[in-house]
Structure 1
Amino acid sequence: MLMASPRSLVADVSALRAGALDLGRHLADTCDRIDAAQPALHAFVPEADRRGRLAAALSAEQTRTPLAGAMVGVKDIIRVAGLTMTAGSQLPPELFAGPQADVVNRLVAGGALVAGATVTAEFAVAAPGPTTNPHDRRHTPGGSSSGSAAAVAAGLVPLAIGTQTVGSVIRPAAYCGVVGFRPTYGSLPVDGVVANAPSLDTLGVFTADVASAVLAAQVLLEGLEVPLSSRPRLLVATGRYLDQADPVARSAFDAQVGRLRAAGFSVSSADPVDDLDALTRHLLVINRYELAQVHAEWFSAFADLYRPQTAEAILDGLATSAEVYAEARQYQRAFTERLTASLAAHDADAWLTPAATGTAPRGLESTGNPAMNVPFSVAGAPAITIPAGRLGRLPLGLQLAGRPGDDASLLGGALTVEAALSG
C-alpha cells in the first residue's frame, strides 16, 4: 500500500498565517493522520494523550511566528518536555530524563508544535525500530532516523528532526523520497540528545522540498541567509567510492548528472577518497570507541536489555585502545582538510553523489548501507539529499555536500538543482 504523500512546510506555514488553515483544525488533522497511519507505518512512538498535550500548547500568538504552529516530529533520542524518551530501547526511561533539548527550544520558540516522538533505531545505532517505508511497507525506511523520514514522506507532519552520525539523515530521506538536510557538524547544539559518537553526531531536518528545509534551517541556525538563485559548480565523486553504488542506481545517477549538465551546470569529477579502506576503518574506530564511552555505565548495569547489534558495537568499542582511537581522530582531521581542499582545487562548490547505494532494501532487519555518506560525515561537511526519480516504486536521491560552515551556499545551490531536476 502506497502511503507516501508529503506535505510542504512552506505551504502549511503560509496557510496557517493567512488563516486559510485553522490551527485547531490543523492539530486535529495531524492527530487523525498519525492515528490512521500508525498501525501500518509505526513512525511515531505511541502516546496516551497526544491531542490533549497539543491542545494545551496552543497559543493565540502561534500563527504570527516563523513556523506558525506547524507540526514537527522529533526523533526519540532528543528530549522533549512532556514526552518520555526511550531512545528506542528497553532501558529505564528515567536514565534519559533532563531539560528539553536546545534544538526543541528553538523549534518551539519559532512557533512549531511537537506532534510527538518519532521512532529511532535503538540508541541511533543499528537495531531497527518497527517503522516501514511509506512507498512499500516491505522495505526499510532507512535508519536510524526511520520514524522522522517516514513521518514526513507519509505527510503526517511537514517537518521532522533526526540525527546523523554516519548516514542517518541523508540515507532515510533518500529511501523515503524526501529532502534531508544535515548541517555542518557542531552548528547545532546537541545538548539534550542521547549521543552515539560525539565527534560525529549532527542534528538534521526532513522536509518535502528544499524550500521547506531552508525555512526550518533559518529557524534553527541563527543568522542563516540563503542565496535564492545560486548555481553551484558541481564535483562528481568518482573512484572506488562511487563504485559502491548498485549498478542500476549508478546508471540512474549518471542520467541525473547528464540532466544537470544539459541544464547548464558546471560539472567536473574527482575521487574524494584516496584510501577507502582506511577511511572506513578509522570511522568505525571513532564511532564504536565513543559509543562505548557514552554507554559504559548504562551497559555495565543493563547489558541484558540491549539488543544484539547495539551490544556488539559497544563491546567492540570497549575492546578498542585509546591509542588506536587517537590515531583515528588524527586521520579524521587530516581527511577533513584533504576533502575540503579537493573542492577548492577543482574550483567547485559542492560534491555531487548518489544519496545512497541504491533504493531501500527489502525487509526491516537492516537500515541500509551508509557508504555514500561516509566521507562527508567524517569531515563534518553539510549535506543535503534531493529526491531524484525512482526505480519501480522506490525513490532515489541525489546528495550534495559542501564545505564545512558553508551551509547557506549549499542550501541555495540545492534550490537550483531541485528546480533543474523537476523541470
Structure 2
Amino acid sequence: MTGLRAPWSLREPTPLARSRERIAETEPRLQAWVELNFPADGRVPLGVKDIIDVVGFPTRCGSPLRTDARAAESDAAIVTAWRAAGAVPVGKTVTTEFAYFSPGPTDNPSALGHTPGGSSSGSAAAVAAGQVPLALGSQTAGSVTRPASFCGVASLVMSHGRFPMDGVTGLSPSLDSHGAFAAGVTDLALAFSALTGEPEAGLPARPRLLLWRPPVEPEMRAAVDFASRRLAAAGAVLDEFPASVAALTAAHPVVMAYEAARERAAELAHISRLSVPLATLLRTGLETTEAEYAAAMRVIRDARARITLLLESYDAILGPAALGPAPAGLHATGDPVLSRPWQALGLPAVAVPGLSASDGRPLGIQLVGRSGEETALLATGCRVENALRA
C-alpha cells in the first residue's frame, strides 16, 4: 500500500475544501483528472467520468478527436439526478478512449506503477486516493467492477436502463450502464438511497448466495475461498452456481463490437487517429454480420430467462471481481472477462473491497443481483463487507 490510498467515507463530513486539498496533494502523482473547477459551495464532491456531460465542461472522451470539444450546455440526465441527491461535480475524471481499452495516464493509488483498470480509471483512482468520496463511471464490459477491484474501493453497476443514458457518449446501447464508486458498500447504499429516494434495506441475516468459481489467478481464487468461508461462518447459505456462462461471455463482445461500429460511426471517418484497440473494435463491428449479431442476442435472451429464474431463490451470485490483482504497468487496463456475462444480461453488480494479495494489492469480490433490485443487492453487499471485516 502507499500513502496515496486514503478512501473517504460518505458518512464522514464532506466539505469541498477537503477535496480540493487532497487533490492538490496527490494529483501530480496520480493524474486522475482531466479538468477541475470547484464550485463555491455544495455538499458532496463528485467526480464525473469524461464521457458524461457536465454543464460548463467539455466532454473529451479521452480521445484526440475531442481535443477541441466545446463545453457541454447541459448536464447528462444522470448528473442532474446526482445533483438533486446532493452531489456537486468538481471535475471530469480520466477515461480510456471512448471508454474502451486505450488507457490514459492515471496511476493506481493502491499499487503505484500498476493499472487502476478501465475504462473508469480516474473515477476509481480518485475515490481510492480520497480525492472525492463519490465518483461516476460507466460499464459496457468491466469498466466499473474491475477498476474497483484493482483500486480497493466499492462500486455499483446499475441495472441496464435504470437511469437514462442521455448526455453520455456510449459504445453499445444494449450494454451501456451507469456506475458509481465509493469507499465502501455502506457508502454506496447511502448514496443510492439519496439518488433514488428508496430507503436503505435491512441487511439479510442469512443471505442466500450462488458461488461462482470461474478460472482466476491463485490469489484471487484464495480470496474467494476465504470470503465464502467467512460468510458461511456468519450464517450465509452458499450453493455452487450450477450454470455455464461460456456462451454468454462469448456473445457479449459480438454485441459490443456490432453496436459500437454503429454508435461511433462518426469516428470511423477518422479511424487512423484512433487508438489501435478502438480502431480494431470498430473494424470488427463493421465485419460482424447481422446474422451473427442476432445469434448473439438470442444467446443473451435465452440466458437471461434461465438466470432470472435461478436468482429468484437467491440474493446474489458471489464471485471474483477481476482475474487477480492489478497488473504492473499503465499500458493496459486488464481483462473484463468476469463482467461480460452479467453485463450482457444487464444485471446490477456490486464490487466489495476488503481483501488483498500477499503484496498488498487489492482484490475485490463481485456480487450480481436481480435486475432493478439494486437496493437489496447493496444490502447483501453490506452484509458481505461486514463479514470480510470481522
CA contact 2:54–2:72 (8 Å) conserved in 1: no
Matched, 1:411 2:374: no
Distance 2:222 2:237 in 1: 20
Describe the shift of the 1:272–1:148 C-alpha distance in structure 2 as closer, same or farther (beyond 3 A).
farther
Q: Which residue number in structure 2 is paired with residue 23 of structure 1?
A: none
Unaligned runs of 5+ in 1: 14-25, 63-68
Q: Report the counterpart of residue 377 of structure 1 in structure 2.
A: 343
Q: Distance in 2 between matches of 1:303 and 1:97?
A: 24
Query: Following TM superposition, by how much is the alpha carbon of 1:111 offset from its aligned partner in structure 2, in angstroms?
Result: 2.2
CA RMSD, 1 decimal = 1.6
The one of 29, 42, 60 equivalent to 1:86 is 60
SS at the partner of 1:219?
Answer: helix
- 1:306 matched to 2:274: yes
Q: How far 1:291 sits from its partner (Å)?
A: 0.7
Percent identity, aligned pairs only? 41
Q: Provide the aligned length of Structure 1 versus Structure 2.
A: 386
Q: Which moved more, 1:403-412 or 1:125-134?
A: 403-412
Match of residue 332, structure 1, among 287, 291, 300: 300
Letter paired with 1:12: P
Matched, 1:296 2:265: yes
For normalisation by structure 1, the TM-score amounts to 0.88
Deviation at 1:312, TM superposition (A): 0.8
Runs of 5+ unmatched residues, structure 2: none
- Checking the alignment, whether the CA contact within 8 Å between 1:237 and 1:272 is kept in structure 2 is no
| Structure 1 partner of 2:248 | 279
Q: TM-score, normalised by structure 2?
A: 0.95
Question: Is the CA contact (8 Å cut-off) linking 2:58 and 2:70 kept in structure 1?
Answer: no
CA–CA distance in 2 between the matches of 1:89 and 1:358?
A: 28
Query: For 1:150 and 1:182, how far apart are their aligned partners in 2?
Result: 17
The aligned residue for residue 4 of structure 1 is 5
**Matched position secondary structure for 2:32:** coil
Contact 1:120 1:143 in 2 (8 A): yes
Q: Distance in 1 between matches of 2:377 and 2:248?
A: 24
Sort the Cα spacing of 1:327 and 1:296 in 2 relative to 1 into closer, same or farther, 3 A: same
Match of 1:3, SS?
coil
Question: Matches of 1:193 and 1:416 in 2, distance apart?
Answer: 32
The alpha-carbon distance between structure 1 residues 296 and 159, as it changes in their structure 2 partners (threshold 3 A), is same
Pair 1:400-2:374 in alignment: no
1:290, 1:168 → 2: CA distance?
17
2:316 equivalent among 332, 337, 350: 350
C-alpha separation in 1, matches of 2:140 and 2:109: 24
Larger radius of gyration: 1
Q: Give, as a single letter, the amino acid of the residue that structure 2 aligns with 1:9.
A: L
Q: Larger deviation: 163-172 or 319-328? A: 319-328
Q: Partner amino acid for 1:308? A: V
Mapped contact 1:179–1:385 kept (Cα < 8 A): yes
CA change 1:327–1:369 in 2 (3 A) is same
For each residue in 1:18-77, what CA deviation from the matched residue of structure 2 results, as whole angstroms up to 9, or x when unmatched?
xxxxxxxx3233222212222211111134xx24xx12xx3xxx5xxxxxx110100000
- Distance in structure 1 (CA, Å) of the matches to 2:63 and 2:79: 21
| Amino acid aligned to 1:355 | A
Per the alignment, in what secondary structure is the counterpart of residue 103 of structure 1?
helix
**Per-residue Cα deviation, 1:350-393 (whole angstroms, up to 9, x for no partner):** 10001111100111111111122122111111110111311112
Higher fraction of helix: 1
Q: Deviations over 1:220-273 (max 9, x none)?
A: 33x4233222232111013xxx12x11221022111111111111111112342
Contact 2:84 2:195 in 1 (8 A): no
Q: CA shift at 1:104, angstroms?
A: 0.7
- Would the aligned equivalents of 2:7 and 2:133 in 1 still touch at CA under 8 Å? yes
1:146 aligns with 2:146: no
What is the match of residue 262 of structure 1? 233
Determine the structure 2 residue equivalent to 1:46: 35
The residue matched to 2:89 in structure 1 has which SS?
Answer: strand
1:334 is displaced (CA, Å) by: 1.0
1:184-216 CA-to-partner distances (Å, cap 9, x unmatched) read: 111011110001111010001100111210122
